[in-house]
Structure 1
Amino acid sequence: MCTVKELTLTSAPHSTKCKVTHNSPALVFSAEGYTGNFFHDFSDGFVPLFITINSLFYNQDVILVISDCNDLWWPQKPQLVFVIRKLDVGRAILNKNEVINAIEEVGFDVNVLDPTTTHTCMAKAFKLVHSSHAMLGVHGAGLTHMLFLRPRAVLVQVLPIGVHLPSNISFKGPAKNLGLEYMVYKVKTKERSLAEIYGTNDLVLENPDAYVNGNYSNMRVYMRTQNLKLDIVRFNRYLVKVYKEAKKFMDMENELSFLFGRPRQNSALL
């Protein structure tokens, strides 16, 4: 029983404001002691907890506060690989940190992959991507890492203006052939750096096909000059859909692991 922590409950100063409040009483209990096998889990844990609740808090809601909680009991989060691009190659996300925070807040564990770094070996990249439930990035060569994703994983292509044709050929079609759940986030005018450079009514933004007009050198504007600053509010609404699909894949994977004894996929940071 030395593993059970002793707790002392005190009242907080009146000047302290709680971020979370409840209208129901709390019951603090320890999950340590001899727990860890089914006999002691019930005899030392569930049964005493059941008796205490029904004796002291009969017919009312109770907030359970667990001390000495095992990390393995926390719900598993879907793993998402965020493929980033550098400013010098174009199509970079300017508010990258805000995007990462939004992805984490919706419920993902985020691993950042920079394909341009010389320290990224293929084995590590494969391990990272293959263990993930989703991959997200702006249209570009880095999304080729989708080849390492497992069937039913989610591929999210952030689509700038002027690249709709190569995006479909390079990623949408192959993603379907690989059995991936393909999703696309199309950026709006205010999310493009080109709007600040050329203005929203310029031909560059109004009609990319007419601007290029068969001259591929004009594509440089869309491929190299263009960067993105995502609307976090709009992007967050989209992320909810991505999370649902990734969570669905993760839950299916865990169910198969339980039924057939397959080990869970573990993420690996580069």
Structure 2
Amino acid sequence: MKGDVRTDSISSSLFLKTARNSGVEKIRPYPRKWETHTINTVGELNLVAKQSSGNGDRPCEVRHDVPAVFFSTGGHTGNFYHEFSDGIVPLYITSQHMNRKVVFAILEYHDWWFTKYRDVLGQLTDFPIVDFNRDRRVHCFPQAIVGLKFHDILAVDPALMENATRRTMVDFHDLLDRAFAKDEKTDESSKRKPKLVIMSRKGSRELTNQESVVELAVDIGFDVEVLAAERTTDIGMMYRKLESSDVIMGVHGAGLTNFIFMRPKSVLIQVIPLGLRRHAENCFGKAAKKYGLNYIPYEIGVEESSLREEYDRNDPVLVDPKSITRKGWDITRKIYVDHQNVRLNLQRFRKSLLLAFEYCNSNRRTDG
């Protein structure tokens, strides 16, 4: 929308004064348009093109000289994976070419979300956030972008970036570095052991022999740290821990989103539970490879899944997961996502850790 754009939060509307025909379009400003059950929970925004007459127009109460980007922090916000895949990365794609000369107007705004991502937002805008639903004033903008651009899950496609900026996920990582890095970095990677971070889970997809995995990794030669990501986790702290690490591993889940904090050429080991191969690849595997990480998928066997204790050994849940997952996401989630834990076969998993260790040593030889 270009021209005289005015907000009316009472009617959840944006008005564009125009000399052409009038019209109304409705939009839910959230990326996951393909997920009907999610997008229908996001509040609508009315885009109203209105012939300019001067009569009945509410006067501007706050006039801005820069464009606005309108988006929602509803939907899956609250899940760390979705906060980046549906929020922060698309916001970067949509706004980075404006060089911070942009106002963010947020529908379904949450104070905790702003507090959590304040440092990142400060790299994308020089202006205060507009809480669209609560701010009843009429804001006027010369241009409004409604909704966020989405390239792929946790991915930035340089060919699709505005103004031929050719930005990539590496540039996005650089933005995170500007937001979160505290001190000058000293490269002592050749003098220390490779660092492996295990993203710990509780509840579902829990690694039940985690302590044994830690011992195995230490025996191979890693310095190991176990981290857990919660809604209240300081992501600046998490960034600094991961950015200085060499390997991140964990059972498939939102915590693996932290791979975007790693340096290119680092290693991601994704432990993939039964029935979740395709889902795990789509969420993290493809994105990690596009970003430039060395990706090691570890698909567990039946004997490593807690489901073997609940189903007969010949049950399709164990021997033919595809026949179950074809029934849809609700069934897949109920069985494989929400009610499955993992106990790794250490002898089998050792091969993945050794491969990761070799990647680390290879990176040191190359960088050194």
Q: How does 1:103-252 map to 2 (within 5 A)?
A: 103-116=217-230, 118=232, 120-219=233-332, 220-252=334-366
Aligned with 1:198: secondary structure? coil
Measured after TM superposition, the shift of residue 75 of structure 1 is 4.8
Measured after TM superposition, the shift of residue 213 of structure 1 is 3.0
| Contact 1:78–1:250 (8 Å) recurs in 2 | no
Unpaired segments ≥5 residues, structure 1 = 1-71, 256-270
Give the distance between the partners of 2:261 and 2:196, measured in 1 at CA.
13
Paired amino acid for 2:298: Y
Q: TM-score by structure 1 length?
A: 0.63
Aligned with 1:85: secondary structure? coil
Higher-RCO chain (CA-CA 8 Å, sequence separation at least 6): 1
Q: Say if 1:140 and 1:209 are closer, same or farther in 2 by CA, change over 3 A.
A: same
Unpaired segments ≥5 residues, structure 2 = 1-187
| Contact 2:276–2:336 (8 Å) recurs in 1 | yes
Give the distance between the partners of 1:135 and 1:165, measured in 2 at CA.
20
- Percent pairwise identity: 34
Give the distance between the partners of 1:147 and 1:95, measured in 2 at CA.
26
How many aligned residue pairs are there?
179
1:214-267 Cα deviation digits (max 9, x unpaired): 3322112100111011111211232111111122223434x2xxxxxxxxxxxx
Correspondence for 1:77: 193
Could you say which structure has the larger radius of gyration?
1
Q: Which has the higher helix share?
A: 1
1:157-189 Cα deviation digits (max 9, x unpaired): 011111111111111111111111111111111
Correspondence for 1:264: none
Aligned with 1:143: secondary structure? helix
Give the distance between the partners of 2:326 and 2:196, measured in 1 at CA.
37
Q: TM-score by structure 2 length?
A: 0.47
Measured after TM superposition, the shift of residue 144 of structure 1 is 0.6
Give the distance between the partners of 2:239 and 2:215, measured in 1 at CA.
24
1:64-104 Cα deviation digits (max 9, x unpaired): xxxxxxxx9x9520011111110x2x111101100111111
Measured after TM superposition, the shift of residue 117 of structure 1 is 6.7
Q: Which has the higher strand share?
A: 2
Measured after TM superposition, the shift of residue 196 of structure 1 is 1.2
Q: Say if 1:111 and 1:250 are closer, same or farther in 2 by CA, change over 3 A.
A: farther
